Amino acid sequence: MQPEIDQMQKAVSITDKAFRTVLDHIKPGLMEYEIEALISYEFTRHGANGFAYEPIVASGQDACVLHYTKNDKQCRDGDLVLMDFGAEYANYAADITRTIPVNGRYTKRQKEVYNAVLKVMKEAMQILTPGTVLSEYNQEVGKLVEKELVQLGILSQKDIDNQDPNNPLYRKYFMHGTSHFIGLDTHDIGNRYEPIQAGMAFTVEPGIYLRDEKIGVRIENDVIVTDNGVQDLAKDIPVEAEEIEELMNANN
């Protein structure tokens, strides 16, 4: 229903405001909980009920911990910080993830991984269509991640040819589902075994986690499935690596 979509859009728009504030303030030496505090302030200032769920602010190697919520480390020069957070507005949830460089510039390798994840997210949105079943969709997204891992030099085609099809190797580097229902709850109720219908709301959140390289990247938007492609509620939240760098360095 459109009124529900409007409330979700408001929650996402408030989350956008908070993210832009973080881009203005983050720098080496800042504590993860200071970033959480900035986000909380912006949520309250713009009329949200607060966080829709416990936020994740994970820098360095901790970005590879899926449900890291300590948020107690110092953000260090050269590291990435993965922020998974969303506002709750009128009981509707936003669920957004962005991964940004603490010092305002991605390294060459960080940008390679980041752009690989972003490419997968964009392609995943193309296949999140009415009639698709989530399990099949997740398998297709897994193949997209697998392809990117080959490009990144993490897996070889020989590795893939010899892998156990019931336990694909990409799961070591992408160990969670790509999409879940969202609405009145961050992980809203829905039947994941029935075909997707137009009007359903989902997250789209692929990731690649390279613990040995201290690189964990996840990018997440909230979308509404339609008969003509998804409606991306987070399309205005900065997501391209160059735009994020530009915004982070605008005052330098």
Residue numbers of the domain that contains 112: 2-248
Tell me what pLDDT residue 252 has: 67
Residues 202 and 8 sit within 8 Å (Cβ to Cβ)? no
Domain of residue 216, CATH code: 3.90.230.10
What percentage of the chain carries pLDDT values higher than 70? Answer: 100
pLDDT at site 1: 81
- As for how many domains the chain has, the answer is 1
CA atoms of 99 and 93, how far apart (whole Å):
20
| Concatenated DSSP letters of 97-115 | EEEEETTS---HHHHHHHH
d(CA 2, CA 7): 9
- State yes or no: pLDDT of 249 exceeds 80: yes
Q: What is the mean pLDDT of the chain?
A: 97
For the chain, the helix, strand and coil percentages under 3-state DSSP, each to the nearest 5: 40, 20, 40
pLDDT digits 0-9 by tens, 7-18 = 999 999 999 999
pLDDT digits (tens, 9 = 90+) for 94-142: 999 999 999 999 999 999 999 999 999 999 999 999 999 999 999 999 9
Dig out the tokens for 123 from the structure.
């392609």
What is the DSSP secondary structure assignment for residue 221, as one 8-state letter? Answer: E
pTM of the model: 0.97
